[in-house]
């Protein structure tokens, strides 16, 4: 137990959301010194108590979107023809492959939700887009622990959601208990409700606690509801700009141009919105560069 990474806090920051009237969310990932956590490359928290979430059609490349509501209901529509109402305890997983578009609109007031992205490995970026709704997810239970596993596996509970790299995402209700971890995974924790004592620190709602690699279990003292994210450290340096994840400026610029040109061969059509869509911002007047993975991932 001597090579453990010291727990490190990463504060969330308030970010205005394009295409939504004056709405701000808490952006937990990416961080300058933590561009990815496993293949998790993006985490926004809406709410709690978000009055209205209206995210008009917008495109994605190079990623999977993971939508995890904690309160309220969200309607998801996309360019592969999905139209699904998502409720707490259920998972929406959309895989962009080469390109997809979607919209998300709250159906109830008081929404609280996590919007996560998982970076695709290069070999999965040319695939066809796809969407999965998982209404039933496996539970991992042990003394003091009741977890819903939405991506990957925790102990003997394995989600059926499609993954492309070794990864885990789980919602854990804990009083006082221990969860099994994989030493080859890096992990982070986000508290949704309550507070936990973990790795000799106190974690409350707000920041992400980075736990690094090398652990085969961890003890959590609540009571709390926490989100556990983890995975094999992601090897690639990624270019992230707007709703796109790629590996070069040119790849991002091409996707932007195709969205602006309403190239339906790449991004399809999200039915039910007429001509409403989120326009892409202007590219910065410089070449986008990949965010370097920190040395801990080398």
Burial degree of 35 (CB within 10 A; 0-12, 13-18, 19+): buried
Annotated binding site: 58, 60, 102, 104
Phi, psi of 49 (to 5 degrees): 80, 25
Q: How far apart are CA 216 and CA 86, in angstroms?
A: 33
Number of alpha carbons in the 13 Å side-chain half-sphere of residue 155? 19
Distance, in Å, from the CA atom of 217 to the CA atom of 4, rounded to the nearest integer, reads 12
Three-class SS state of 64:
strand
**Distance in angstroms (rounded) separating the CA atoms of residues 239 and 67:** 22
Phi-psi region of 39 (alpha: psi -120 to 50; beta: other; left: phi over 0): alpha
Peptide bond into 260 cis (omega under 30): no
**Residues placed in the known binding site for Fe cation:** 58, 60, 102, 104
3-state secondary structure of 175: strand
- Rounded Cα gap, residues 99 and 66, in angstroms: 16
Q: Report which secondary-structure segment, H or E, holds 258.
A: helix 249-260
| Strands 40-50 vs 63-71: parallel, antiparallel or unpaired | unpaired
């Amino acid at each position: 137990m001597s090579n453990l990474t010291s727990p490190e806090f990463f504060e969330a920051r308030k970010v205005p959301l394009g295409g939504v009237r004056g709405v701000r969310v808490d952006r937990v990932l990416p961080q300058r010194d933590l561009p990815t956590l496993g293949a998790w490359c993006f985490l926004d928290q809406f709410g709690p108590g978000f009055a209205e979430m209206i995210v008009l059609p917008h495109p994605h490349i190079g990623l999977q979107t993971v939508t995890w509501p904690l309160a309220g209901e969200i309607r998801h529509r996309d360019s592969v023809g999905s139209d699904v109402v998502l409720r707490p305890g259920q998972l929406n997983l959309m895989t962009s492959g080469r390109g997809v578009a979607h919209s998300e609109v709250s159906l109830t007031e008081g929404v609280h939700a996590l919007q996560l992205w998982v970076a695709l490995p290069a070999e999965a970026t040319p695939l066809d887009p796809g969407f999965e709704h998982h209404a039933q997810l496996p539970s991992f239970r042990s003394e003091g622990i009741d977890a819903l596993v939405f991506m990957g596996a925790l102990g003997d509970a394995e989600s059926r959601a499609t993954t492309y790299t070794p990864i885990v995402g789980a919602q854990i209700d804990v009083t006082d208990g221990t969860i099994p971890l994989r030493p080859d995974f890096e992990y982070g924790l986000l508290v949704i409700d309550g507070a936990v004592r973990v790795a000799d620190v106190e974690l409350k709602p707000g920041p992400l606690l980075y736990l690094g690699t090398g652990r085969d279990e961890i003890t959590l003292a609540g009571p709390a509801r926490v989100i556990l994210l983890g995975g094999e450290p992601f090897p690639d340096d990624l270019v992230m700009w707007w709703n796109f994840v790629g590996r070069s400026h040119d790849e991002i610029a091409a996707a932007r141009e195709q969205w602006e040109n309403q190239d339906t061969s790449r991004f399809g059509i999200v039915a039910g919105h007429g001509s409403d869509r989120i326009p892409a911002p202007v590219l910065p007047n410089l070449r986008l560069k990949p965010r370097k993975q920190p040395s801990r991932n080398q």
